[in-house]
Structure 1
Amino acid sequence: MMLRPKFSSLSMIYRNYGAGTQKFATGAKKEPLPSLSDTFGRFHSYLRISLTERCNLRCQYCMPAEGVALSPKSELLTTEEIARIARLFVANGVDKIRLTGGEPTVRRDLIDIIASLKSIEGLETVAMTTNGLVLTRQLVALQRAGLDIINVSLDTLSADKFERITRRKGWDRVMMGIDLGVQLGFNPVKINCVVMKGFNDNEICDFVRLTEEKNVDVRFIEYMPFSGNKWEMEKMVSYKEMVEKIRKRWPDFHALRNGPNDTSKAWKVPGAMGQVGFITSMSEHFCGSCNRLRITADGNLKVCLFGNTEVSLRDAMRAGSSDDDLTALISAAVKRKKKQHAAEPRNLSHLFQRPSMNSVRFYSTRKLSHVDDDGKAKMVDVGGKRVSARTATAMATVKLTFELTKLIRENGLKKGDVLSVAQLAGIVGAKRTSELIPLCHNIVLNSIKVSASLDEGGQCIVLNSVVSCDGKTGVEMEALTAVSVAALTVYDMCKAISHDITISNIMLTGKTGGRSGDYKREEINLRSYDTSPINTEQVTVGAV
């Protein structure tokens, strides 16, 4: 299984929060299938598909005024690939699909996509989240194609403020699109509003007043820390604060009953046509009842919105995978879904820093540590960090031929004992990391351990390293350099016999210490590799 770290765009993030052998259902209610159930008993019946990275607005908390670099069209899912993914998920128990972006209405085949989704037996609901700019032109056709639910993202009821935050005109068109949705019978039209202190928190009651006059569901979303939105704790307005503000105007404002998988906490003003919801992604997370999975525009499956690991269904499909293969891939990813976010949402602020828009794509959720705000390479200043005990472990494998495996086992190579030499080379390489990697600090190391094990059955050498120090920065690069140099040494010693040698699986397997906390790679499967050290040499270093 190929895992690729990547992150979603900010627009996809807010829209995902602001919404819940091919075998087709026959119309009867499907029983939860194990392929979409995780290890915590959560069954995932709700799929969100991002159709595009493009958007026709330039919201200040989402992207720079000039826009961002987008993926080539060839990397995005085609209409047929979207339909295939949808059929597969519905066959495994999904009964609701939401289309998001970017901005989904900029995709020319949107009507065809909706029509193809509605043709899938067993799919009960097709929803869409949009900025509403073109609804007056498209909504009738979208409804005819089968669109069941519409969510409109709107952060202000002021035309001037709309233009200021989106860098585009069009507030009146959005409002007309909402009115058209009400007239067409969407029950209700949902309005997603990200509340930001100092920008639109003074409009909360104005939005609530809309629910008295129209059959709309206004859903207030707590401002979340994602790169590109200049997130600051003081800008967040909590669920509790919003309720208190509304109750000053409507004392009888009261909570409604919620469904088991609802992300929005429903409230209502007595006698109002519509209702109000609160999406408490920061103050009260709802991980325990999460039933959502997400597909990015380029075909990656995300099992958690805050997660940084994705599985490429696009690559698997284009490589010829069968539906059974895809189901197995999806099931394995769902089984790895964690119990909740990596950190409590209310404590996420320390994880996010504003990136340079010139150096990373706008959907990144972290800043590259060795890039400055102008996109230039820099060395990290660790002067303000505290000294702490740090360790890092890494591994690599070197695939051999049968002949090489036999010669190494018998120590029959003319250049000598491959395992011992590779082990020593790895130790030397770790000590010289700062000379090899331009932006690495020269660290005083406490200990370097490198082991080299011959796996005869797998015809490969497994290399492992453990590096430790007491310092202000970590030793991940030293551990990775150790196994990389050791692997290259194996190649150098064996190339006279055969060039059919493959170096692979160079990876960090764990780390401890430092501000980012401990890390352990979970998806490693070493089969029956014997990773016990062979002639292990431990070097305890004073001043390296």
Structure 2
Amino acid sequence: MTVPGAAATDAFGRRFRYLRLSVTEVCNFRCTYCLPNGFQKAGSMDFLSTDEIGRLVCAFSGLGIGKVRLTGGEPTVRKDIGGLIARVAAQPGIDKVALTTNGWNLSRHIDNWVASGLTHLNVSVDALERETFRKITGHDRLEDVLAGLERAQTLPLKAVKINAVLLRDALNTDFSAWTEFVRYRPIAIRFIELMRTGDNRAFFEDQHVSGQILGRWLEERNWTPRPRGRDDGPAIEYCHPGHAGRIGIIAPYAPGFCNGCNRLRVTARGQLRLCLFGQGGRDLRDLLASDEQRSALQQRVADALAFKPASHALHAADPGDIMNLAQTGG
């Protein structure tokens, strides 16, 4: 069992260095694969405060977490997102502060976010064709998002990446437009297999595309996989000597996907989720009221890790109790 001050590990010997922290369940897009009817308020909007997030991240850094990603929902709908970035960046031991965003206000605020301590940026761009983008997201904002992305690439960020969900409707022919996009841009595009959730069964069955299709397409064109870093996510990234950028695949249905799990998740209401597609979680919020509870918080996380499952059960069409990805930040 992990004890406070020691490395966060589970019963399978997996070492956790990466925290995905949701800061809101609210999203202003209506993506077909997540919130096709838009965000529906259910209960209070009492999400973790800046002080609670600071205490939470401080405790996790004491367990060896060095990378924190702020997610949602859409994290930038919080007016205090700049302050949240600064608070996370100020915690000892945190050397990577990442943000995942749909990019709706990226061009207006990215300079301030980087000045606040942001080091890594992921932008969701599910299509490079304007009308397809509008159909998927519910918003005609592709030009705005790409403008923000271009601005981000001029700033001293350690990494800028694009996330795109693999959808049958978005693949008109092949992936050539995407590889051309990274020919001269030093950016990584990671395609994420559509995942089954509690409310998307029919959509999943209609739109799911295996990541193996993209992998074969790339290999046939002389793209080769590169080694993963120790706190990288689960993407397998491919490189090509004729391209400045990379193409990645996140394939949760692939064999052994969970073997190298290195991340923990906390929801916007302070619940530790041991698996994105698991059942329930361990509440942490009652221990975030003061700094004096840090050791107790670390012990609770350590105790919970003993029950982290070896794998999700997506192969058995069991998404756990997650209804949509906005609940936990994906």
TM-score (norm 1): 0.56
Cα 1:362–1:246 change in 2 (3 A) is: closer
State how far apart, in whole Å, the 2-side matches of 1:361 and 1:246 are. 30
Select which of 229, 232, 235 maps to 1:259.
229
RMSD, aligned α-carbons: 2.6
| Gap runs ≥5 in structure 2 | none
Kindly state the Cα deviation for residue 97 of structure 1 after the two structures are TM-superposed.
Answer: 0.4
Select which of 33, 50, 55 maps to 2:6.
33
Please give the secondary structure, in 1, of the residue aligned with 2:131: helix
Kindly state the Cα deviation for residue 294 of structure 1 after the two structures are TM-superposed.
Answer: 0.5
Output aligned runs, 1:284-295, within 5 Å: 284-295=255-266
1:336 has 2:307 as partner = yes
Cα 1:204–1:348 change in 2 (3 A) is: farther
1:305 has 2:276 as partner = yes
State how far apart, in whole Å, the 2-side matches of 1:42 and 1:232 are. 30
Identity %: 32
Kindly state the Cα deviation for residue 260 of structure 1 after the two structures are TM-superposed.
Answer: 4.7
Q: Is contact 2:100–2:124 with CA below 8 Å preserved after alignment?
A: yes
Kindly state the Cα deviation for residue 231 of structure 1 after the two structures are TM-superposed.
Answer: 3.7
Please give the secondary structure, in 2, of the residue aligned with 1:161: helix
State how far apart, in whole Å, the 2-side matches of 1:253 and 1:272 are. 10
State how far apart, in whole Å, the 2-side matches of 1:362 and 1:205 are. 28
State how far apart, in whole Å, the 2-side matches of 1:364 and 1:150 are. 20
Kindly state the Cα deviation for residue 271 of structure 1 after the two structures are TM-superposed.
Answer: 2.2
Match of 1:151 in 2: 122
State how far apart, in whole Å, the 1-side matches of 2:117 and 2:17 are. 19
State how far apart, in whole Å, the 2-side matches of 1:106 and 1:363 are. 13
Match of 1:49 in 2: 21
Output aligned runs, 1:359-438, within 5 Å: none
1:194 has 2:165 as partner = yes
State how far apart, in whole Å, the 2-side matches of 1:362 and 1:266 are. 23
Kindly state the Cα deviation for residue 305 of structure 1 after the two structures are TM-superposed.
Answer: 1.1
Q: Is contact 1:212–1:269 with CA below 8 Å preserved after alignment?
A: no
Match of 1:62 in 2: 34
Q: Is contact 2:164–2:189 with CA below 8 Å preserved after alignment?
A: yes
Q: What does the per-residue CA deviation read over 1:100-138, in whole Å, with 9 as the maximum and x for residues that have no partner?
A: 000011111111111111111211110010001111001
Cα 1:333–1:219 change in 2 (3 A) is: same
1:138 has 2:109 as partner = yes
State how far apart, in whole Å, the 1-side matches of 2:276 and 2:79 are. 26
State how far apart, in whole Å, the 2-side matches of 1:321 and 1:307 are. 30
State how far apart, in whole Å, the 2-side matches of 1:325 and 1:175 are. 44
Count of matched residue positions in the alignment of Structure 1 and Structure 2? 323
Please give the secondary structure, in 2, of the residue aligned with 1:49: strand
Please give the secondary structure, in 2, of the residue aligned with 1:224: coil
| Gap runs ≥5 in structure 1 | 1-22, 24-31, 366-544
Match of 2:75 in 1: 104
Q: Is contact 1:126–1:146 with CA below 8 Å preserved after alignment?
A: yes
State how far apart, in whole Å, the 2-side matches of 1:203 and 1:325 are. 52
Please give the secondary structure, in 2, of the residue aligned with 1:183: coil
TM-score (norm 2): 0.89
Please give the secondary structure, in 1, of the residue aligned with 2:299: helix
Q: Is contact 1:157–1:203 with CA below 8 Å preserved after alignment?
A: no
Please give the secondary structure, in 2, of the residue aligned with 1:178: helix
Q: What does the per-residue CA deviation read over 1:346-380, in whole Å, with 9 as the maximum and x for residues that have no partner?
A: x243x359x9xxxx888689xxxxxxxxxxxxxxx
1:221 has 2:221 as partner = no
Q: Is contact 2:17–2:64 with CA below 8 Å preserved after alignment?
A: yes
Kindly state the Cα deviation for residue 201 of structure 1 after the two structures are TM-superposed.
Answer: 5.8
Please give the secondary structure, in 2, of the residue aligned with 1:244: helix
Computing the radius of gyration from Cα coordinates, the structure with the larger value is 1
Please give the secondary structure, in 2, of the residue aligned with 1:202: coil
Cα 1:317–1:185 change in 2 (3 A) is: closer
State how far apart, in whole Å, the 2-side matches of 1:364 and 1:102 are. 7
1:237 has 2:209 as partner = yes
Cα 1:130–1:363 change in 2 (3 A) is: closer
Output aligned runs, 1:198-213, within 5 Å: 198-200=169-171, 202=173, 204-213=175-184
Q: Which has the higher contact order (CA 8 A, sep 6+)?
A: 2
Code of the aligned partner of 1:332: D
